[in-house]
């Protein structure tokens, strides 16, 4: 196959790609553009080689060539990049072989066959400097999706008790604080007083917000849904805060009251359990210290940090077997059949950085914490605030509150000081 035939084939292939580009997707279009660029480079190189193989009359005179009807003809050597000095016939033959080899390599790659390619240049090599020379410039491709971050929202928020009170300002949940025992009564005497004592947990409105801005250029990028992702993550940011505040909310003005807060008045701090380290007795200590004196609660959940879950997993028997049977399902699972939920707001009891008296875990029925929605979660988009700069703003807001709504609804575990 001569050079003209090779050029014709490549021109036909380029025409096919141009036609295909009219109905191609964005991802396919980028690949087609790259293929057309490679074809243009090859065609230019081929035409250069073709022109080199047809010297004009002046060149023929210089080369002392004889007329075509004579048998003798001077075949002056010419320089071919990557191949050294070759005669005109040798140059054409070698060039055609390189082109054919490159075409075959392309076919082999498409069919996922390994190839060996000659890296010799096809045309004149010109030296250029790009930057400092520390990187290799390659074609750039944009992904059509955005890889998510690791989960930052504990499923605790979805498992506590929810109550909706639109446009409300506060909510009081009554609970039984105590029931007195009856007593013996003699004939004609008054019955023994056994009044039920009531109290209430107050839940006040707090405002939770999240805000971010993106440029209009980022919003208009077609390759990946940046704006949609930002919009979704506004909600994620707010949920991440709330699920932590269920544990550590201070209970002050415009704050949720967390399980670990001193303002969670439904919990008697005298019932808190202090533990030094996580060992083969820890889970039993927690389970049997929770609830009333007459039964063992069977619907409770252990809320702990991931590091403390690891500490449970590292407890071994005398035979070096795992003492606790842990079944993990992402953010939640079971330890010896006891349900657990991971929440990073818990300070790890197993960490040397956690000081004595710090709250580390909580154990109880999740329905004993109530989260009240005073308004629906609303996420808004605006282009007005920074219109001049071309910025798009996203803002999420929700009014809600939370508190423990049952007497000693959770057993709180603190780190106990070690004795020396």
Instruction: Report the greatest alpha carbon distance in the chain.
Output: 151
Non-local (6+) Cβ contacts of 206 within 8 A are 254, 255, 256, 399, 400, 401
Range of 16's domain? Answer: 3-110
- Per-residue confidence (pLDDT) for residue 220, from 0 to 100: 67
Together in a domain, 48 and 166: no
Together in a domain, 77 and 172: no
Helices (H), 131-265: 156-159, 216-220, 226-248
Q: Let me know if residue 234 belongs to a domain.
A: yes
Q: Let me know if residue 132 belongs to a domain.
A: no
Q: Are 217 and 391 in contact (CB under 8 A)?
A: no
Q: How far apart are CA 153 and CA 155, in angstroms?
A: 6
Together in a domain, 263 and 361: yes
Q: Let me know if residue 388 belongs to a domain.
A: yes
Residues 156-173: pLDDT tens digits? Answer: 999 999 999 988 889 989
Together in a domain, 285 and 360: yes
- Per-residue confidence (pLDDT) for residue 14, from 0 to 100: 82
The alpha-carbon radius of gyration of the chain (Å, integer) is: 39
Residues 220-261: pLDDT tens digits? Answer: 665 556 666 777 788 888 899 999 999 999 999 999 999 999
> Residue 352: helix, strand or coil by DSSP?
coil
Q: Let me know if residue 229 belongs to a domain.
A: yes
Together in a domain, 106 and 162: no
Together in a domain, 171 and 309: yes
Together in a domain, 351 and 236: yes
Helices (H), 53-145: 57-62, 88-110
pLDDT in tens, the chain (420 residues): 677 878 888 888 888 877 877 777 666 766 777 677 777 767 776 776 666 555 544 444 444 444 444 444 444 444 444 444 444 455 555 555 555 555 555 555 445 454 444 444 444 434 444 344 444 444 444 555 556 667 788 899 999 999 999 888 899 898 888 888 888 888 888 888 888 888 899 999 999 998 888 787 766 665 556 666 777 788 888 899 999 999 999 999 999 999 999 999 999 999 999 999 999 999 999 999 999 888 888 789 999 999 999 999 999 999 999 999 999 998 999 999 999 999 999 999 999 999 999 999 999 999 999 999 999 888 888 888 788 788 888 888 999 999 999 999 999 999 998 876
Together in a domain, 69 and 176: no
- Per-residue confidence (pLDDT) for residue 314, from 0 to 100: 96
pTM of the full predicted structure?
A: 0.63
- Per-residue confidence (pLDDT) for residue 107, from 0 to 100: 53
Together in a domain, 74 and 201: no
Q: How far apart are CA 263 and CA 202, in angstroms?
A: 10
- Per-residue confidence (pLDDT) for residue 101, from 0 to 100: 57
Q: Structural domain tally of the chain?
A: 2
C-alpha distance from residue 306 to each of 186, 276, 341 (Å): 59, 18, 9
Q: Let me know if residue 368 belongs to a domain.
A: yes
What CATH number does residue 350 fall under?
3.30.2400.10
Q: How far apart are CA 245 and CA 268, in angstroms?
A: 20
Token pair in block for residue 111: 């069919």
């Amino acid at each position: 196959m001569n050079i003209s035939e090779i050029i014709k084939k490549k021109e036909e292939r380029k025409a096919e790609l141009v036609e295909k580009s009219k109905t191609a997707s964005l991802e396919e279009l980028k690949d087609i553009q790259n293929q057309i660029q490679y074809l243009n480079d090859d065609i230019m190189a081929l035409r250069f080689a073709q022109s080199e193989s047809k010297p004009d009359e002046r060149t023929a005179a210089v080369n002392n060539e004889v007329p075509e009807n004579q048998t003798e003809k001077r075949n002056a050597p010419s320089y071919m990049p990557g191949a050294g000095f070759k005669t005109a016939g040798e140059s054409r033959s070698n060039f055609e072989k390189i082109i054919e080899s490159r075409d075959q390599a392309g076919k082999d790659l498409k069919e996922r066959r390994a190839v060996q390619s000659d890296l010799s240049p096809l045309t004149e090599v010109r030296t250029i400097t790009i930057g400092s020379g520390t990187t290799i410039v390659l074609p750039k491709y944009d992904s059509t999706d955005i890889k998510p971050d690791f989960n930052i929202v504990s499923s605790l928020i979805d498992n506590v008790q929810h109550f909706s009170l639109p446009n409300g300002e506060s909510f009081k949940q009554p609970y039984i604080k105590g029931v007195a025992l009856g007593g013996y009564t003699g004939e004609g005497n008054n019955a023994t007083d056994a009044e039920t004592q009531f109290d209430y947990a107050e839940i006040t409105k707090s405002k939770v917000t999240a805000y971010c801005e993106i440029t209009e250029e980022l919003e208009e990028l077609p390759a990946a849904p940046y704006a949609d992702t930002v919009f979704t993550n506004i909600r994620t940011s707010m949920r991440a805060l709330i699920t932590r505040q269920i544990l550590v909310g201070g209970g002050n003005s415009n704050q949720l009251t967390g399980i670990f807060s001193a303002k969670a008045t439904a919990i008697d701090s005298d019932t808190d359990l202090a533990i030094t380290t996580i060992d083969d007795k820890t889970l039993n200590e927690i389970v049997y210290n929770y609830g009333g004196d007459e039964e063992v609660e069977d619907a409770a959940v252990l809320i702990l940090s991931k590091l403390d879950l690891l500490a449970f997993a590292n407890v071994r028997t005398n035979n070096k077997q795992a003492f606790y049977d842990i079944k993990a399902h992402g953010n939640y699972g079971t330890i010896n059949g006891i349900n657990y939920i991971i929440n990073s707001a818990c300070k790890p009891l197993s960490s040397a950085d956690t000081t004595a008296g710090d709250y580390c875990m909580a154990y109880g029925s999740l329905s004993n914490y109530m989260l009240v929605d005073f308004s629906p979660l609303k996420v808004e988009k605006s282009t007005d605030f920074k219109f001049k700069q071309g910025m798009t703003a996203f803002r999420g807001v929700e009014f809600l509150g939370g508190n423990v709504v049952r007497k000693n609804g959770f057993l709180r575990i603190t780190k106990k000081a070690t004795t020396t």
